[in-house]
Amino acid sequence: MSSEYLTVMPRTPQKKAKQLRQEGYVPGVLYGRDITTVPILFNRRDIEAFVQRKGESAVFEISMEGKVLSVKIQEIQKNPINKNIMHLDLMKVDLDEVIKAMVPLRFEDREAVERLGYIIQLQKESIEVEGRTKEIPPYITVSLSPLEKNHNLRVADLQIPDNLTVIDEPEEVIASALKPSAAKAAESEEAEDSEEREPELVGGDN
C-alpha cells in the first residue's frame, strides 16, 4: 500500500449534494466497525485524479482533521454521461484482516498482438483474490503478448503475488486472440444461440 494519502473534510448538513457538486466538491460517507458514520467531502479534482491513479479497488489512507485512517472504496457512483464521480462510500479497514476483493486487470501489449492480424476478445476485466487488506493491489497487470502463440489466456497464466490466493477457477479464460474469420463465426454462433434461447410468444385470437 502506498504512503500517499488523500485529504477529506467533514460535511455539514447545511448544503445539499447538488450545491456541493456545483462548488467543486464530491460528497461521500465514511464508516466502519469501530467508528461512527461520518458524512465527508472531497475536492473534485483531487478525488478524480486520485482514483484514476490508484484505481477503484485500492486500499489507501485519508487524512481528516489531523487523523489518518486506512480505507477502501466500498461504492462509487458516477454520472452515466460524463463519468464524473458523484458520490463515494469509504470503509475504514484493518490492514491485517484477511479479505476477499475484486481486483481489476490492466491489459498491456495489445497492439503487438493486433499487428499480427488477431482480434482480441476480453472475457474478464477483474478477478477475485483473498489476502490481507494491505496486500490487495489496486490492479493486476496482464501482458497479452502470450496470445501470439497461445490463443487463450487463462486465470492460471496470471502472475499473482505469493501472498494472494485467487478465487476464480484456474481454467477460466481471460482473453482470446482470433483471426477475423474466426471472430465473425463466433459472433454468428452467439447470435444463433441467443435466438434459440428466446421464448416463443403465445398469442392469437381465442
Using one digit for the tens of pLDDT, what is the confidence trace for 138-169? 889 999 998 878 789 999 999 999 999 999 99
Report which of 36, 11, 164, 46 is spatially closest to residue 92, judged by C-alpha positions. 36
Check pLDDT > 70 for residue 82: yes
* More confident: 58 or 8: 8
123 found inside a domain: yes
Q: What is the CATH number of the domain that holds 14?
A: 2.40.240.10
**Residue 106 and residue 89 share a domain:** no
Q: What is the pLDDT of residue 149?
A: 80
The range of the structural domain enclosing residue 180 comes to 99-186
197 found inside a domain: no
206 found inside a domain: no
**Residue 140 and residue 86 share a domain:** no
Check pLDDT > 70 for residue 53: yes
Check pLDDT > 80 for residue 50: yes
Mean pLDDT of 73-77: 91
Q: What is the CATH number of the domain that holds 125?
A: 2.170.120.20
79 found inside a domain: yes
What is the helix (H) or strand (E) element at residue 5, kind and residue range?
strand 5-7
Longest Cα separation, the chain: 75
Instruction: Please state the domain count of the chain.
Output: 2
Q: What is the pLDDT of residue 121?
A: 92
**Angstrom distance (rounded) from CA 11 to CA 29:** 9
Query: Do 55 and 31 form a contact (C-beta atoms < 8 A)?
Result: no
**Residue 109 and residue 63 share a domain:** no
Identify the domain boundary among 76, 93, 110.
93
Query: Do 78 and 85 form a contact (C-beta atoms < 8 A)?
Result: yes
DSSP single-letter state for residue 179: -
Among 51-55, 162-166, 200-204, which stretch is predicted with the lowest mean pLDDT? 200-204
200 found inside a domain: no
Q: What is the pLDDT of residue 120?
A: 92
**Residue 167 and residue 141 share a domain:** yes
Convert the pLDDT of each residue in 99-143 to its tens digit.
888 899 999 999 988 888 889 999 999 999 999 998 988 889 999
Report which of 26, 76, 32, 79 is spatially closest to residue 55, judged by C-alpha positions. 76
Average pLDDT of every residue of the chain: 85
Select the highest-mean-pLDDT range: 5-9, 80-84, 167-171, 182-186. 167-171
Tell me the whole-structure pTM to 2 decimals.
0.68
Report which of 84, 81, 63 is spatially closest to residue 10, judged by C-alpha positions. 63
**Residue 166 and residue 103 share a domain:** yes
**Residue 73 and residue 48 share a domain:** yes
